[in-house]
Amino acid sequence: MAKTLTATSVTLTWQPGFSGGESQWYVISYRSKDTSTIIQIPDEIREEQYTIDGLDPFQEYTFTVCSSNTLGKSEGGPAITVTTLRE
């Protein structure tokens, strides 16, 4: 998974996994270092790129991406931890 950072956003990109021939969508979850609360993006993401806005500057976040389709949901790829930029 790759990322592009600003002070208040992260753009994640990833490679699709095996889909079993079915169309798939992605689920992104993340949390900040300062909390145990996991936030899940409510959108059914159909592209292999997504920007998460509204983050706090100079804060560490951990992101995971899972794929889903009619056959089920993946365990997800490896988590990625990033720190947003200073303002």
Contact 3, 79 (CB under 8 A): no
At residue 23, the pLDDT reads 87
Q: For the chain, how many structural domains are there in total?
A: 1
Q: How far apart are CA 85 and CA 6, in angstroms?
A: 5
Given a cut of 80, is residue 2 above it in pLDDT? Answer: no
Q: 22 is in which domain, residue-wise?
A: 2-83
Q: What is the CATH number of the domain that holds 61?
A: 2.60.40.10
Predicted confidence (pLDDT) per residue in 6-51, tens digit: 999 999 999 887 777 888 999 999 999 999 999 999 888 999 999 9
Instruction: State the pTM of this model.
Output: 0.88
Decide if pLDDT at 54 tops 90: yes
pLDDT of residue 59: 96
Distance in angstroms (rounded) separating the CA atoms of residues 84 and 56:
7
| Nearest CA-CA partner of 83 in 26, 41, 30, 44 | 30
